[in-house]
Chains A and B, each alone.
Chain A
Amino acid sequence: MKTKSLIYYALISSIFLFSLVSIWKILVTLQGVELKNLNFTIIITLGISISLLNLLIGDKLNYLIKSTFFALIFTFVDGYIVQVMPIWYNIGIFAILIFYSLKINKYNQEYLASEHSSQIVVFDFLTLFGIVLFSFVILFPFYMMLITSFKTQAALLINPLDFSINFNQDFKELFKSYFVIFDTYKFGRYILISTIVSVGTVIVTLVFAIPAAYAVARLNFFGKNFLSTSILIIYMFPAIVLVIPLYTVFSQLGLRNSVGGLLIVYTATTLPVAIYMLQGYFRSIPKELEEAAIMDKLNWFGIIIKIILPLSIPAISSVALYVFMIAWNEFLFSLMFLDNPNSFTLSRAIQYLSGDAETPRQYLMAGSVVVTIPVLLIFVYFEKYLVSGLTAGSVKG
């Protein structure tokens, strides 16, 4: 066994343990439990002792018994000697310790003696640490968004760290923010407008993009190469530089505050990506099928409808989902073009709501939950399609 590996192992594993315990403590604090200290020295000392004990005991004890033993010691010291905590806190700590003990179980004296063992230890724990930390950092704002929407402004002012939800109150009280945003702030209407705009954008974009992508993928014409490179360059161009001319023209044409105006802009901005993604897929369809169709005297319309479309359902649905998500999340143009509350999209409505300093934050968060949930659901459900699309075309953002 090398000393360097041993030190790395003991230190890094206990820092990992400390971060796990700290995240649990943060979550517990947010339930309104008073907890003022993360006890860095105590936890690190305990962690180092457990990791060293683990090496000493090795295989002499069954690993389950060993883990339970470690977990019990830690839970007793942390939840009884250092501070007295509620039972559910200790159950969480116990579970974390079982997980940790099982993780360090694979390290024994021989393992630490092998070549590169110190590096491997560092990499192993950094991986674990990274997984825990990244999940926490990413999910935490989403968690807070959801939880805040169930609280009241008054309760949060009294104790800004108490995010516990009282499930005993009746259904209407619990979902009050949601009732308010639908009743008072007309969110039903905004959902409808957002849906119309997004679905409309998807349909119009596909109608324009499918023939264009087919032409780029299959037909020879003058300016084809120029076109396919300019698609990519146009795709890189920023929306912010389009805003002023579009605003002036749309004002003069009376297209502001209209679903139609938004539809045109969204379609134009998503077309380049859609064409780029679709033509890539169309190229992969065997040419022989179309040659047979030409023999049968089908024209291009027939070819697209009867041959290309049925074969490219996956690609088309991935483009459709994509365009939907871009249009649903879009903010800049809806900010510029909509100033009449009757034609707001969801994003614009939430921004408008936040402009009033009096708006209680739980309403703002309830609105945010309403706009976020459809996108996340679509994303999780169709992830396979979307991920391949993301890497092929990559959403603008």
Chain B
Amino acid sequence: MSDTLSKIEKRTAYVLILPAVFLVFSIILFPIFANVWISFKEVGLKDIRIPEPRAKKIVKSIKDNPDQLKVIYKLRNSSLILEIRDVKFQDKLPKNIKPINLDERCMFKSNKIFCEFGNWEAKYKENFQILLKSSDGKTINKKELKTIKPKLTGKSDNILLNTNFTLKNFKKVFFQNEFFDLLSTTFYYTFFGTIGSIVFGILTAQLVNQKFFGRTFMRSVLLFPYVGPVVALAYTWELLLDPYSGTLNNLLMNFQVIQEPLNLLGQKYLTINFFGFDLKLRLALTTVIIFEIWRYFPLAFLFILARLQAVPKELYEAADVDGAGPLQKFINITLPQITAVISILFMIRFIWNFNKFEDIFLLTGGASGTRTLPINVYEQGFTISDIGMGSAVSIVIVALLLISMFVYFKLIGKRADEN
């Protein structure tokens, strides 16, 4: 009895869950595997289009012969690279109209013209003509003839489905793509963005955890950058930071903080003289990281605030009795209470920052030393139009991600065992 019940339960569970699993599988997991496949192929953006046989139908009347018409089909292979095999053609004629002197590749049967054109090589073109004659002496309705569209079919190789594989893409990724530059930029961006957002998250959570007038308002305001649309925020920052007409540069020059405008998003290095040493700061990268911190510290803020509000008040009261100052309380009570949250946040933000595309894309487009791996995926795939390369870079991202997740869980697992 209970056996059948649990069977029913299982079946119901699968029915409930399968649609969601199917969708997620086809849109998220399948592409990850497809990336592996594509990354071993030489595919460009233009190869993606499946070759199609096409025909444009033109109807012309013939001088001095009102009951005859000429139909021209401009035939072509849409692909510039691939051939189409066994092209078949079919077109319907209105009643009482017949073709005369039909091409030998074709036949006429029950108001339809059938043709077999054989194989079309890439870029194939032909102007194919048919003469039509009305069998009952009436003039042929040109409009009616035009509205009927011919049907064409053919077989072709899909470049994505054949089994020619190559290691070229990976060789290029590692040896011709300034790979270590990319990797270090990505790492700087990810690491400092993550640390920065967590530090500011701690600071703001500490602020809002106190009682003051306008506290709930402050909490909403702090989340604005996180919930606002990235496009709007990135363009606003771009306008603020513009070297010539931007507000920030003009304000700084107005108050004589700087003499020359700074191209915060367009300059790769800024040399700073620091006690006689020339320090090279990666200016655009720093700006992009600051935007990153500005936009994502609210997540850290929320998590840490939620944790802070759960810290028992007694701990602080006991510390007061012991005569501890605010700093000691922060170091000895608050920090230990939030380390777990911080380590989770570090992982989440690290992974997400590692994959961040939109922010850099909108601010600098990957120029002036801000090219990270995700930006490179886009550039390879859509700017250079090399889909195979783009996929190869994606695979590298996934591999690095899996490695860092593995390392993280090893460390966290160890820590959990110790506790």
Contact = CB atoms under 8 A, between A and B. Distances in A.
A and B are partners in one complex rather than unrelated chains:
yes
A119 B326 CA distance: 7
Nearest to B33: A245
B296 interface: yes
Nearest to A38: B255
Interface in B391-408: 391, 394-395, 397-398, 401, 405
Given A219-B16, A300-B12, A242 B31 contact: yes
A242 B32 contact: yes
Contact of A240 (B20, B43, B355): B355
B35 interface: yes
Interface string B21-53: 101101111111011001000010000111000
B237 interface: yes
Contact of B237 (A38, A141, A379, A387): A141
B48 A371 contact: no
A249 interface: yes
A396 to B, nearest CB: 7
Interface residues of A, number: 102
Contact of A332 (B13, B24, B358): B358
A221 B6 CA distance: 9
A236 B204 CA distance: 25
B220 A380 contact: yes
Nearest to B244: A160
A294 to B, nearest CB: 10
- Which of B233, B395, B398 counts the most chain A CB atoms within 10 A? B233
Contact of B50 (A120, A144, A252): A252
A375 B17 contact: no
Contacts, number: 290
B256 interface: yes
B14 interface: yes
Interface stretch (B59-67, B94-102, B373-381): B373-381
Given A127-B210, A331-B231, A251 B49 contact: yes
Nearest to B303: A391
B312 interface: no
Contact of A375 (B227, B325, B405): B227
B38 A144 contact: no
Interface string B202-242: 01100100101000001111111111111111011101100
Contacts of B251: 26, 29-30, 161
B256 A383 contact: no
B279 interface: no
A328 interface: yes
A238 B374 contact: yes
A160 B24 contact: no
A138 B224 contact: yes
Nearest to B49: A251
Contacts of B256: 36-37
A222 B10 contact: yes
B173 interface: no
A80 interface: no
A351 B247 CA distance: 21
Contacts of B230: 329, 331, 347
A148 to B, nearest CB: 7
B221 A135 contact: yes
Nearest to B6: A220
Interface size class of B (residues with CB under 8 A): 35 or more
B229 A268 contact: no
A57 B251 CA distance: 38
Interface string A55-73: 0000000000000000000
A131 B212 contact: yes
Interface in B272-312: 294-296, 299, 302-303, 306
Contact of A145 (B49, B236, B255, B378): B236
A383 B227 CA distance: 11
A371 B387 CA distance: 32
A332 B218 CA distance: 30
B236 A144 contact: yes
B101 to A, nearest CB: 38
Contacts of B166: none
Nearest to A351: B231
B177 interface: no
A351 B232 CA distance: 9
A33 to B, nearest CB: 11
Given A29-B254, A244-B394, A372 B232 contact: yes
B23 A115 contact: no
Contacts of A300: 12, 16
B390 interface: yes
B232 A221 contact: no
Given A245-B31, A390-B302, A120 B326 contact: yes
B14 A221 contact: yes
A241 B299 contact: no
B223 A379 contact: yes
Given A135-B218, A331-B358, A379-B227, 6 more contacts: A240-B378, A241-B394, A267-B23, A328-B229, A383-B220, A397-B299
24 contacts: A130-B207, A134-B207, A138-B222, A142-B236, A145-B236, A160-B245, A160-B247, A163-B247, A211-B20, A219-B9, A221-B13, A239-B357, A241-B398, A247-B381, A248-B38, A248-B160, A267-B23, A269-B27, A272-B24, A331-B231, A347-B230, A364-B235, A394-B302, A397-B296
